[in-house]
Chain A
Amino acid sequence: MSSTEQGTSSAAPAEPTTAPESAAAPEVPESFYYVHGKDKVVHKVSAGALQHSALIHGMISNLGYTEEQAKANPFPFENIDGDILQMVVDWCNQHKGKPTPPEDTNLPKQKEKLFDLVLAVNYLEIKELLTYCCKQVAMMVKGKSPEEIREIWMIPTDAEDEAAEKEAKKRAGKEAAGETAAAAGDAK
């Protein structure tokens, strides 16, 4: 299992120091967690960056993991492709502790990845990034005709939809009939 470390320059826990009386409260050392996607590549991400994800933030908020425990228990997101998770981690690191701007120019430009990113971001509940992604999806069809939109987003026509539905019903019927026949054979 390989590991990538983005935005982790302060990975080593800071030595506890005695704060002077006039200074503010001592800085709490930043904690890190580990996530991996379908490709099993582990990404080390700070708790601060992960705050963007309501899902992960909810998962880690009560864990109280030590660095070792966190490393030993990476969060598995098997439903997210490795490169997509990498994009998400990058975005979270870039926007760690910063107010999100109204426009985001750092989103992936590859259209073919956008829908996968949308699904991942929706699953991880990263509200701001989802907003940007939806805007990007909308931009794909700006000024397009119905035919062009159907082509770009690969929307089947109603006729195609109905045909696919009929085919699926037919297949399900056949499978059910096969199962019934098999069960009857077993009973004999």
Chain B
Amino acid sequence: MSSNTGKSSKEPIFKTNWCDIPAEIKLKCIRKLEFKERWSLRDTAKAERSLVDSQKIKFSSGYLMSNNYSCLSVTLVSENGNIAFSEYLKNEKNVFKLLKFIWKVGIFENLKISRGYIIFDDVHDSDDLFTENAELLSYTEKSTAKNIDLEALNKENVIFILQKLENGVETIKLGRKLNGPLDDIISNSHIQNARYWHIQKLRDRTDLIFKIAQMWIDKNAEIGSTFQVCFDYYKTRSEFAKHFSDRIVSVTHERVRIRTNSPDRHILLEHGIIDHCHISQNFRLMVISAEMKESEYEKNCEKWIYYLNSVPYKEGDSDAESDYYYDDY
């Protein structure tokens, strides 16, 4: 088919055409289009763009990854498991155009946003995909994601993204690049309401655990609310017990259990210790039922520790990781 915008001699000229269809029927047709075709249709004319933008589209997963050169790798997986869209964009204008469109129409079961294919902290804090772009900063649309993984994003970007999410985020996974006081992270409503959240690695922010426990006490968080973190600092458990000394229910070598203001729920801090690993200290904080017996504690901490220390996402191994993460919390 000719790529010219003029009429092709091969294609029939229909008596009735797309432009004769009422908007509500066009919307029905647009809902049948895959993401790629919607992305193309919105480039045909302003009127079509406005229609396309009004229709949400569900994805089982979305992976948005950028590197240091304003490039963006996008993979969107539709609800039936097929790849709905997979592109590597280099042009900055196109990158932001696509990002904004995805953000506006996407409803994600799982959304992962990463600053490049990194394994360790090899990306500088100044590499801000979102917060250095004025056009994106002023963008007010909100996206919907049930489980979000913000790997290797610094605090400013994490907050920026969380602020642009609709309510209903259930799990939040944060990576290794969070530094400084995290009060603005803890005060974020998605963090406060998440069923599960974790920070993959954090240096010397023991008070974070206290603050999260206090936040849960203050807001009477749901039983099952869970936070996990990996610290370099091993005294967290004893300092937690000291900090909440007036609320102590029990203290053991591996766990500290405290009362909340609600008689039906307690908060349990667990120190996950693996024989062969002494470098990192893994902690899990949970709101539990006050009725829970010590015999009901999860004996094997490796399962939850594994998740904190798992290798960051690489294309091709996402399924194994997400299966564990999202099914278990």
A residues neighboring B (CB under 8 Å)? 111-112, 114-116, 118-119, 122, 130-131, 134-135, 137-138, 141-158, 161
Contact = CB atoms under 8 A, between A and B. Distances in A.
B29 A116 contact: no
B58 to A, nearest CB: 16
A151 B11 contact: yes
Contacts of B2: 151
B79 interface: no
Contacts of A138: 29-30, 32-33, 37
Interface in B1-19: 1-8, 11-19
Interface stretch (B38-46, B174-182, B227-235): B38-46
Nearest to B20: A115
Contacts of A148: 1, 3, 40
B34 interface: yes
Contacts of A111: 12, 14
A131 B6 CA distance: 30
Nearest to A138: B32
Contacts of A143: 36-37
5 contacts: A112-B12, A153-B17, A154-B13, A157-B5, A158-B46
Contacts of A152: 1, 11
Given A122-B22, A155-B19, A161-B46, 10 more contacts: A119-B20, A134-B31, A135-B32, A142-B34, A146-B43, A148-B1, A148-B40, A151-B6, A154-B19, A161-B45
B47 interface: yes
Nearest to A148: B1
Given A112-B15, A141-B40, A130 B28 contact: yes
A161 B2 CA distance: 22
A158 B28 CA distance: 23
Nearest to B49: A158
B15 A116 contact: yes
Contacts of B279: none
B3 A147 contact: yes
A76 B32 CA distance: 32
A116 B16 contact: yes
A115 B17 contact: yes
B4 A147 contact: yes
A159 to B, nearest CB: 10
B40 to A, nearest CB: 5
- Nearest first, the 7 A-B pairs at minimum CB distance are A153-B18, A138-B32, A146-B43, A115-B16, A134-B28, A134-B29, A154-B17
A32 to B, nearest CB: 30
B25 interface: yes
